[in-house]
Amino acid sequence: MREDSKEIDAFLVSLLRTVGESLRGDSIKKKSVGTKKNRNDLVTNFDKKTEKFINSEIKKNYPQATIVSEEGYGDKVQDMSGLVFFVDPIDGTMNFVKRRDDFASMIGAYIDGKPLIGAIINVMDNEIYHGGKEIGLFINDKKIDNPKDLSLIEGLVDVSAPMALANKFNVQSVIKKSSGFRVYGSAGIIFGHLLTGKEVMYMSYLAPWDLAAGRVMCEAAGMSIVSIDDSPINMLESQVVIVGTQKVVSEALKTLKTR
């Protein structure tokens, strides 16, 4: 098992290194931009191209695996048995289109439903956050320590813009108790901030590919991750999740109005 983790980790790091290099070039090219569910839900030719490339590399190296991915080139995965990869080719597509920074590419690997390895590249910084419970956590080649278990008053929190603006679950009461509020617009970038203690909580409605890699690493780092209604996290559904230090998640759950 340990060998599997190491091998999958090395594979994902090398794959995301290649993906990052091409996305840095793509970021300054003219993009063909379409919308999906609404006018703020964007997809570009580069989201599709990147997903096709990542999925084909996974299938080449792990033909037995199944893939859950955002842009439609994955498998119809019905259950979590065996090796399952979750792929978000560009996380923060709006940032990729508008700002050309603060976007990521993410891959999470699970075995029989258990979190195994997560890998997230902050594309413009060329930093890869990767690892899992068995092998530890790294930024590129450097091992990182778990972040401190800070409380709400001691740290910055990140809530997705629609949830914060609508004051969903009375989330503004949590925001007001923190050191400050930030909205980065890319789950992958925010997971990097959580893993390095720059932020202490993230709350958002997330799809499986938004959550998979970050969940593996945040759990390995001793952080808490819960769904808003306290049901077990379901990796084949979208849900509102709170990820953060143990202290902050328990404070948030006491403050939020979830029913």
Whether residue 20 contacts residue 53, with contact meaning beta carbons closer than 8 Å, is answered with no
Shortest spacing between CB 92 and Ca ion, in angstroms: 7
Whether residue 201 contacts residue 157, with contact meaning beta carbons closer than 8 Å, is answered with yes
Measured from the CB atom, the residue of 92 and 197 that comes closer to ligand IPD is 92
Per-residue interface string for the shown chain with ligand IPD, residues 92-121, x marking contact by CB under 6 A: xx----------------------------
Task: Tell me 147's DSSP state.
Answer: P
Residue 237 is labelled as binding a ligand? no
Shortest spacing between CB 214 and ligand IPD, in angstroms: 10
Exposure string of 77-112, with b = 16+ CB inside 10 Å and e = fewer, is beebeebbbbbbbbbbbbbbbeeeebbbbbbbbbbe
Q: For the CA atoms of 21, 213, 221, 153, what is the dihedral angle to 10 degrees? A: 90
Nearest to 225 by CA among 180, 187, 170, 257: 187
Measured from the CB atom, the residue of 6 and 182 that comes closer to ligand IPD is 182
Q: Which does 204 bind (CB under 5 to 8 A by kind): Ca ion, ligand IPD, none?
A: ligand IPD
Residue 102 is labelled as binding a ligand? no
Shortest spacing between CB 88 and ligand IPD, in angstroms: 5
User: Which parts of the chain fold into alpha helices (H)?
Assistant: 2-26, 45-61, 93-98, 161-165, 171-177, 187-195, 208-220, 246-255
Backbone phi and psi for residue 168, each to the nearest 5 degrees, phi listed first: -60, 135
Cβ neighbours around 197 below 10 Å, total: 19
Is 147 a residue that touches ligand IPD (CB under 6 A)? no
Shortest spacing between CB 63 and ligand IPD, in angstroms: 26
Measured from the CB atom, the residue of 206 and 216 that comes closer to ligand IPD is 206
Residue nearest to Ca ion (CB): 91
Q: Which does 147 bind (CB under 5 to 8 A by kind): ligand IPD, Ca ion, none?
A: none
Residue 90 is labelled as binding a ligand? yes
Q: Which of 51, 71, 210, 251 binds ligand IPD (CB under 6 A)?
A: 210
State in Å, rounded, how far the first CA of the chain is from the last one. Answer: 41
Residue 54 is labelled as binding a ligand? no
Per-residue interface string for the shown chain with ligand IPD, residues 58-97, x marking contact by CB under 6 A: ------------------------------x--xxx----
Q: Which CA distances in Å does 7 have to 10, 66, 78, 106, 141?
A: 5, 17, 26, 17, 15
- For the chain, what is the largest distance between any 2 Cα atoms, rounded to a whole number of angstroms? 48
Binding residues: 70, 88, 90-91, 210
Binding site for ligand IPD (CB under 6 A): 88, 91-93, 160, 185-187, 204-206, 210
Binding site for Ca ion (CB under 5 A): 70, 88, 90-91, 210
Binding residues for Mg(2+): 70, 88, 90-91, 210
